[in-house]
């Protein structure tokens, strides 16, 4: 697989979100056929409308926490003739003290972030074996280190990071590569939601508190979705051939040492 994706089919979940849309745009620039899944039918349709001018694109409204929806998404993608790349970007955030966590919060977040990612991988495997394709999962720095009041999200992303390793090994004999990217805070609708929902009415204060956790001090900034998309694209391209079962940090060093992870 080279930087030219013109004969490749790429599936993206959570495609209408900040990272998912940036990933879809990056692959569209390389000429890929895109099969884009998201729960948000309106924003998905907008994105498909935008990208239809650039490449072949199919939008599939789906809830990745439902295995039947995932199977339908993968079937739609297989109907293009092949699946080369699966990017699992659908995700939800929840935070708060563990003792206040509800069963509904746990089920919602684990079902989307972990179960959704796993079954998208699982159901795409037969097609990926045919193409010696690859999977890129959106984990998080929270998938690598623990932080206070993020236990549910962290558990879900820790699961994503380890299932990435397990699948990387399992699928290596078929030359199917499975990697995860582990970003710190990316300026997307998810981060805005975090600040709005958990910032105590002061979203700017929430952002400022996050950035105090970065080793860059007053030069700290959030990651852009395009920076993450570029890493995802690299992992799907030929120079990444030796990389599998890896969790690649893109986090300004927040997970590299004690005291910095947010
Ligand atoms: N934004 C960050 O700071 C950050 C940091 C590290 C990791 N991540 C991870 O990156 C991924 C993308 O996050 P983002 O920042 O683009 O978030 P986002 O909220 O902008 O996008 C997530 C997308 O997932 C979709 N989605 C939610 N539930 C779904 C479901 N059940 N089925 C299908 N689609 C569903 C949403 O509609 C949305 O379009 C997520 O897995 C997230 O956990 C984000």
| Token reading at 237 | 């391209």
Any domain includes 258: no
Any domain includes 210: yes
Q: Tell me: the pLDDT tens digits for 117-145?
A: 999 999 999 999 999 999 999 999 999 99
Residue whose Cα lies nearest atom 40 of ligand 1: it is: 91
Q: Is the CB of 143 under 6 A from ligand 1?
A: no
Share of the chain above pLDDT 90, in %: 95
Distance 173 CA to ligand 1 centre (A): 31
Q: Would you state the pLDDT for residue 205?
A: 98
Work out the mean pLDDT of the chain and round it to a whole number: 96
Rounded Cα distance, 136 and 195, in Å = 27
Distance 234 CA to ligand 1 centre (A): 20
Q: Is the CB of 38 under 6 A from ligand 1?
A: yes
Any domain includes 110: yes
CATH of residue 147: 3.40.50.720
Residue 262's pLDDT band (cuts 50, 70, 90) = low
| Token reading at 96 | 């708060």
Contact present, 23 and 17 (Cβ < 8 Å)? no
Domain span at residue 68? 9-186+225-248
Distance 27 CA to ligand 1 centre (A): 18
Residue 261 has pLDDT above 80, yes or no: no
Residues 152 and 232 in one domain: yes
Residues 195 and 135 in one domain: no
Q: Which residues pair with 177 in a beta bridge?
A: 134
Catalytic residues: 153
Q: Within a 10 A sphere around the Cβ of 218, how many other Cβ atoms?
A: 7
Residues 105 and 191 in one domain: no
Share of the chain above pLDDT 70, in %: 98
DSSP secondary structure, 52-85, as one string: TTTS-EEEEE--TTSHHHHHHHHHHHHTTT---E
Q: Tell me: the pLDDT tens digits for 216-255?
A: 999 999 999 999 999 999 999 999 999 999 999 999 999 9
Residues 122 and 16 in one domain: yes
Contact present, 203 and 241 (Cβ < 8 Å)? no
Residue-wise burial string across 35-65, b where 16 or more C-beta atoms lie within 10 A, e elsewhere: bbbbbeeebbeebbeebeeebebbbbbbbbb
Total domains, the chain = 2
Residues 125 and 203 in one domain: no
Count CA atoms closer than 13 A to 93's CA, side-chain side: 19
Q: Would you state the pLDDT for residue 1?
A: 44
Distance 49 CA to ligand 1 centre (A): 20
Q: Would you state the pLDDT for residue 3?
A: 78
Residues 52 and 166 in one domain: yes
Q: Is the CB of 92 under 6 A from ligand 1?
A: yes
Residue 102's pLDDT band (cuts 50, 70, 90) = very high
Residues 171 and 194 in one domain: no
| Strands of 52-174, DSSP E | 57-61, 85-88, 134-138
- pTM of structure: 0.98
Q: Is the CB of 16 under 6 A from ligand 1?
A: yes
Residues 144 and 204 in one domain: no
Q: Is the CB of 59 under 6 A from ligand 1?
A: no
| Token reading at 217 | 């001090």
Rounded Cα distance, 32 and 21, in Å = 14
Residues 178 and 70 in one domain: yes
């Amino acid at each position: 697989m080279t930087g030219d994706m013109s004969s490749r089919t790429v599936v993206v979940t959570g495609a209408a979100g900040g990272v998912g849309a940036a990933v879809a745009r990056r692959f569209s620039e390389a000429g890929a056929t895109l099969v884009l899944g998201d729960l948000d039918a309106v924003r998905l349709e907008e994105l498909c409308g935008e990208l239809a001018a650039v490449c072949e694109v199919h939008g599939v409204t789906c809830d990745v926490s439902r295995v039947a929806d995932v199977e339908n998404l993968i079937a739609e993608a297989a109907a293009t003739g092949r699946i080369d790349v699966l990017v699992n970007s659908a995700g939800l955030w929840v935070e708060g003290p563990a003792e206040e966590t509800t069963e509904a919060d746990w089920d919602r977040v684990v079902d989307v972030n972990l179960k959704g990612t796993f079954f998208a991988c699982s159901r795409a495997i037969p097609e990926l074996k045919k193409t010696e394709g690859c999977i890129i999962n959106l984990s998080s720095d929270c998938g690598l280190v623990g932080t206070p009041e993020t236990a549910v999200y962290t558990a879900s992303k820790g699961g994503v990071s380890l299932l990435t390793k397990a699948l990387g090994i399992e699928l290596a004999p078929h030359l199917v590569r499975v990697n995860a990217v582990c970003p710190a805070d990316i300026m997307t609708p998810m981060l805005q939601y975090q600040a709005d929902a958990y910032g105590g009415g002061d979203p700017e204060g929430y952002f400022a508190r996050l950035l105090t956790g970065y080793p860059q001090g007053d030069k700290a900034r959030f990651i852009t979705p395009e920076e993450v998309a570029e890493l995802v694209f690299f992992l799907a391209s030929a120079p990444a051939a030796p990389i599998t079962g890896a969790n690649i940090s893109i986090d300004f060093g927040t997970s590299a040492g004690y005291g910095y992870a947010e």
